[in-house]
Amino acid sequence: MDDQLPPADLPFQLYSDTEPFPLVMGRTLDHMHLSFESWGELNEDHSNAVVLFTGLSASSHARSHALNTAPGWWEAMIGPSCGLDTNKYFVLCINHLGGCFGSLGPATIDPASDKPYGPTFPPLTIRDLAKAAHRLIRSLGITHLYACIGASLGGMLSLEYAACYPDQVNRFISISGTGRTGPQSIAYRYVQRQVILNDPAYHDGWFYDKDERPTKSMAVARQIGNITYRSRQEWEDRFGRSRTGNGYSFGPDFQVESYLHHMGHKLAHHFDPNSFMILTKAMDLFSLGYGFSSYREGVARITSPNLIIGVTTDMLFPIDEQEAIHLALKNEAVDSQFLALDSLSGHDSFLVEVEFFANAIQNFLRE
C-alpha cells in the first residue's frame, strides 16, 4: 500500500483515478479522488478486508491512527479484539464521492475554471458511490470483500454494493438503512434542503468566495436532522422541560433547544452545504430497483449472506423498512438474518449502543 500514502500534511490516505467515471444520471467525471483510512493489515491473499461505509456527515476517520490521533466516530468499535477486530480484519473506511472530507466533491477546485465545482457538480446516486468505492477497493488489490458494513446512508450503500458486486462480497451488514427510501425521510430532507436554498448567503451554491457562508441555514438543517436521530422518549428522559434560565427568549431557552443549537453549529462550520444537498438527494432517490423494471428485480441482484439491523425507536428509517428488506431478501432465498434493537437512542443507536453492535457484528463475521 506504499503507493497510496498521502502527502505528509494529510490526515488520511488518498486514492486518485484519471480514468473517466460515468455516472448513473448521464454525466461523466473525467477524474476522481477519494479519501480513506485503514486499520489492521491485509493478509497474504487479501481476503480479510472489511469495508465500512459511513453515514451522511461522517468522514473516513472512524478510529484514531498515526496520521490522525483524534478519536474517530466509531472509536470503540475498531481495534484489537473489538467488534471490528484488527487482529483479524483489514478495516477500510471510505469518504463518499461528493463528500467534503478529502474526496472529490462540490468544494473541490475544478481544473477547468480554477474555482470550486459548486452547484455544477453532477448529481449522484448511491450506486455511483458504490462504484467509486469499488474502484478504490480494487486499486488496493482486493478482489473479494470479507464483508461490507454500513449504517444509515452507509447501510443503503452496503446493500447497493452487495447488489452491484454479488460475486465479490462474502457477507454484509446493513444497519438502520433501507432498500428504498420512504416518504417520511424524504420529507425531512426536503425541508432541510429548502432551509439552505432559501438562505440568501447560499447564493445558489456560489458562496465560496463570499464573506458570509450559509452556516446559519446549515445549522438549522442539522438541527432538523438531529431531531430525527433520537427517540421521543430520549428527549423526554434527557431534557424534559428543563430551562437554561428564567427569562423569556425565543431560544435557545429550553435545554433541548440549547443542545440542538450546539449540534447544529458544530456541523455547520465544517460540512459543505453543496455536499449536503447532493448526498441527501442521493439518499432520497435510493432504491435497489432504480433503473430496473421492478424493485424485486433490483433486490434479486443480492446473493450474499447478510445481517439487517433495525432500531424500534428509529424515526428517520423506521424499523419496518429494515424488516421489509430482510423479508424481500428471504423471498429471493438469500440467507438473511434480522435483529431488532429496542433502544431509546433511535437512529443514532449504532453510535451509542456500542456493546450491542460489537457483539452482533462479531458473531455475524465469525459465521
Distance of CA 321 to the CA centre of its chain: 17
> Running DSSP on this structure, what letter comes out for residue 16?
E
How do beta strands 28-29 and 78-79 pair? unpaired
Q: Check the CA dihedral 237-240-243-249 and report its sign.
A: positive
* Grid cell for residue 108: 473541490
**Long-range CB pairs of 276-279, under 8 A, 24+ apart, other chains included:** 276/56, 276/192, 276/193, 276/196, 276/218, 276/221, 277/119, 277/193, 277/196, 277/205, 278/98, 278/105, 278/106, 278/121, 278/123, 278/124, 279/56, 279/96, 279/98, 279/99, 279/124, 279/153
5 vs 3: CA distance, rounded Å = 6
Q: Any idea which residues carry the catalytic annotation?
A: 152, 314, 347
Measured distance CA(65)–CA(87) in Å, rounded: 15
The rounded distance, in Å, linking the Cα atoms of 213 and 202 is 7
Residue type, 248: Y
How far apart CA 122 and CA 214 sit, in angstroms, is 21
Q: How many CA atoms lie within 13 A of 188 on its CB side?
A: 17
Contact 138, 113 (CB under 8 A): no
